[in-house]
Amino acid sequence: MSSLGRSPTLGVTHKLLIIEDDVAHLSSLYKIFEKMGLEVTAASRAEEGLMMLDERGPFSVVLSDLMLPDLDGMELLVALKERQPDLEVVMMTAFGTIERAVEAMRLGAYDFVTKPLRRAEIEKAVRRALERAALIAENRSLKAQLAQVNAAKGLEQLIGHSAPFRNALSAARQAASAHAPVMITGETGVGKRSLARAIHQSSTRSEGPLIELSCASLPSELIEVELFGDEERPGALRRSWGGSLLLSELHSLSPRLQIRLSRALTAQSSALGRLICTTDEDLSAALEEGDFERELYHQLSVIPIALTPLRGRLDDVLLLSEQLLRRLAARDGRRELSLTPEAKQRLMAHSWPGNITELESVIERAMILGEGEVIRAQDLPISVDERAQRLQYEGDDLFYAPLGTPLHEIERRLIHRTLAYVGNDKRRAAQLLGITSRTIYRKLAEEPSES
């Protein structure tokens, strides 16, 4: 039997209180659960058990006989719940008192087992009660954090406790208190626009407008009109004065518009809104290859913020999942669901190639398709991506080339190997290789055609 002593998610030792007037049974139960790693406290009378709860509590689970000499089992259950409302109680009862055990469950007992006790049955009942106690405790902890988040605004609404997230949040706070342009980089789905909006909301410009413009959503001619305006109305640059202009997918801006934007920033910087830009491509690599205007890059990246992919901040997955469950339940007017321990393990084991956007989709689908009050592992439409994990941790899925292989051949094979890994997604391959999509297209076009 595996150890039950510590919660894998909370890192705390489980405490079990046993109340049993039969000294032989009490001693046997004590030894069984102590060997399983639990912190066990034993009492032979109900009043002694209540005293132990007051002095040594809180406990995760109480295992108690229903028939005790000094206090009725129902009265004991009520007294236990009054002292610790979230306490999980497993009752032990003889066959002749099963009806009373059922009544005890109506009063809040978690489960009951019948005497004579069978070791496998009593271990199973206590194990299930401990899992439920750990789940409730973790949910309470996460909800407390979420309550603080929901009471705040702007950057305080972004949650996470991993080191990469804290570093990005620290940079974002500094950006919110300044007026210089901000450049947010990261893979698709990591939350770049959410961070940009939060920076605006937390800044002194929050009362002004936040105008959002995607450089990839419209043809270049229309982007030019939206950005710089025409005879009928001013463009987004001027309309954002006193507020912020969010330019997403900056890498898609045409070379001609890059030059025009750079000149506009030089000539009219005081009459324009504060620029916050996002991109999922490595613009420093684009600079070296002449694919991005160098002066514009330096104008827009005064405050750079890099967002880590979700696979690099797995410590935040459960907290983000709980936030999503809470938000979706409020949106849909339904009861908030919780995650089973197995579901949490699956969420933590997934590599999340789609980052937070994928997590949102997975949680919403699980809420729709799941049954009951919990989301189980089988409700989650994901699997453990072992191949991605090997690539991330540099295991046995490495790219090798013999010494003496020409550099251009190594480059060609590495590009094709990466494209095969990401299903021929050239943008994703460019992100992994630290180059631009244009470079991949150019390299492929330069290859000799097969006869």
Read off the pLDDT of residues 319-360 as tens digits, 9 standing for 90 and up.
899 989 988 888 888 888 888 888 888 888 888 889 999 999
- 244 C-beta neighbours (distance < 10 Å), count: 24
Q: CA 299 to CA 314: how far, in whole Å?
A: 33
Written out in words, the top-level CATH class of the domain with range 155-308 is alpha beta
If you ran DSSP here, which 8-state letter would residue 212 be given?
A: E
Q: Is CATH 2.30.40.10 what the domain over 15-146 is classified as, yes or no? A: no
pLDDT at 388: 43
CA distance 56 to 52: 6
- Give the residue carrying structure tokens 């630290």: 434
CA 77 – CA 406 distance, rounded (Å): 77
What average pLDDT is seen over the chain?
A: 83
Q: 369 and 379 in contact (C-beta within 8 Å)?
A: yes
Per the CB < 8 A criterion, the answer to whether 291 and 441 are in contact is no
Q: What is the DSSP string of 374-417?
A: EE-GGGS-----HHHHHHHTT-S------TT--HHHHHHHHHHH
CA distances from 235 to 10, 213, 295 (A): 52, 11, 22
E strand intervals along 286-441 = 303-306, 338-339, 374-375
Q: How far apart are CA 160 and CA 247, in angstroms?
A: 25
According to CATH, what is the number of the domain 399-446? 1.10.10.60
Beta strands per DSSP E along 12-160: 15-19, 39-43, 61-65, 88-94, 111-115
Which residues is 88 bridged to in the sheet? 61
Residue 10: predicted pLDDT: 39
Domains 155-308 and 311-387 share a fold: no
- 183-192 confidence digits (pLDDT tens): 999 999 999 9
State which residues of the chain have pLDDT below 50. Answer: 1-2, 7-11, 147-152, 386-397, 450-451
Tokens of 188: 């698709």
Distant-in-sequence, close-in-space partners of 380: CB < 8 Å, separation ≥ 6: 343, 346, 347, 362, 366
Contact 272, 240 (CB under 8 A): yes
> Which string of b and e fits 334-359 if b means at least 16 CB within 10 Å?
eeebbbbbebbebbebbbbbbbbebb
Q: What are the sequence ranges of the domains in the chain?
A: 15-146, 155-308, 311-387, 399-446
Whole-angstrom distance, CA of residue 339 vs CA of residue 323: 12
User: Options 1.20.1740.10, 3.40.50.620, 1.10.510.10, 1.10.8.60; which CATH number does 311-387 get?
Assistant: 1.10.8.60
pLDDT of residue 396: 33
Pairing mode, strands 182-185 and 111-115? unpaired
- This prediction's pTM: 0.56
